A = this chain, B = another copy of it.
Amino acid sequence: MLQLSQRGVALPASPYRKLSPFADAARQRGIIVHPLNIGQPDIETPPSMLAAVQQADIRVLEYGPTAGTVSYRQKLAGYYQNLGLDVTAEDILVTTGGSESISFALLACLNPGDEFIVPEPFYGPYNAFAISTGTHVVAVASHIENDFALPPIEEFERKITPRTKAILICSPNNPTGYVYSRAELEQIKDLCVRHNLFLLSDEAYREFCYDADFTSALHLQGADDHIVLLDTISKRYSACGARIGAFVTKNKALRDIVFKLAQLRVCPPGLGQLLAEAAADLPEDYFDHTKAEYLARRDLMVSRLRGMPGVQCPLPRGAFYVLCHLPVDDADLFAKWLLEKFSYRNETLMVSPASGFYATPGLGRQQMRMAYVVNQDVINRAMDCLEVALREYPGRWE
């Protein structure tokens, strides 16, 4: 019999999109489904960035350089330099989205069977990235009680084995919204140096810090060879569909390997790079406006959630997600029930149950993630639905 690969069979479905069929069915019944499940910003892509593609003079849409165009890499280096990071164009390999950057890191730093440590809850697809690269996620639990702060560094150290090759962090964190402090990052860096580990730092939400100062892994001193920045323009410029990210490291030997991996796909998307390059010409206050909007949404969503009996909601200091505790038996069942059985004023909401963000079975069962990527009117409507739903849900459980 024709057999599919075990790794393929073992892959989990996306925790964000597994409820899509139920949402489609609800919409077909005429119900308005508010999509809080996925981090797709509704903020408009800067028109000047789109114009850069739309006005470009292209005769042949050729293969570009494997590491990305020189002009874009130079401008991106300038962006990092403005953040106080010592990054040159040579340190950057432009990737096809942040996702490719994650794959490259795991393929280049880990062998099959090797492990990387991640604080959980974490960006759900890390599980599937591990399976597709033959590596293993080892999770260290963070806790809602202290806003999902970095777990004690001793807990990381206890999980280190001869197969551990890296620690992967995400700050500002998806799904928790926590922003690691400089002191926390220094602890992780020291541990990586002590145990010869790579520090892989997913900073997709760098610009979205509200009540915390952002520190990049590349701000840390004395560990240049260990640190890899995994980046993307998706959230920064509301340009998810461009599929442009970056793999950034001062480690030349690592870059050389990633370059060979990158040669397999010849080059990153050319049109997306034109768009990304134009970000350099955005006005200096571009992020102020976007951030102010997200901040207002966050405050609204958090205050609405905190007004619901039995809901526990930490203040997410960055990114654009809320990870909250609900008074329900099982957030997976609740999320499905919202789409299958519930509506209020002919509306309902789609959320991401948190189980998909944990590696340890059973953790996060009463938690769910919502993205505040919709306007305040929609947030209010969705929260109205949630409030009623929590009263009506038959599986309510304090």
Which A residues are closer than 8 A to B by beta carbons?
1-9, 11-14, 17, 38, 40-45, 50, 53-56, 58-64, 66, 96-97, 99-100, 103, 107-112, 114, 125, 128-129, 132, 134, 165, 196-198, 225-226, 234, 238-243, 251, 253-254, 257-258, 260-261, 263-272, 275
User: CA A207 – CA B58 in complex, angstroms?
Assistant: 23
Cβ–Cβ < 8 Å partners of A226 in chain B: 2
Chain A at the B interface: mostly helix, strand, loop or mixed? loop
User: CA A57 – CA B253 in complex, angstroms?
Assistant: 43
Cβ–Cβ < 8 Å partners of A62 in chain B: 40, 240-241
User: CA A45 – CA B271 in complex, angstroms?
Assistant: 13
Residue in B38, B111, B128 whose CB lies within 8 Å of A7:
B111
Cβ–Cβ < 8 Å partners of A60 in chain B: 41-45, 238
Chain B's closest residue to A111 (CB) is B5
User: CA A56 – CA B241 in complex, angstroms?
Assistant: 14
Cβ–Cβ < 8 Å partners of A108 in chain B: 4-5, 8
User: CA A60 – CA B241 in complex, angstroms?
Assistant: 9
Chain B CB within 10 Å, residue with most, of A6, A61, A263: A61
Given contacts A44-B59, A103-B264, A260-B12, contact A109 B269 (CB under 8 A): no
Chain B CB within 10 Å, residue with most, of A2, A43, A110, A198: A2
User: CA A198 – CA B8 in complex, angstroms?
Assistant: 15
Chain B's closest residue to A51 (CB) is B54
User: CA A330 – CA B238 in complex, angstroms?
Assistant: 52
- Report the minimal beta-carbon distance from A188 to chain B, rounded to whole angstroms: 15
The 3 closest A-B pairs by CB, nearest first: A241-B270, A8-B257, A271-B271
Whether A271 pairs with B257 at a CB distance below 8 angstroms is no
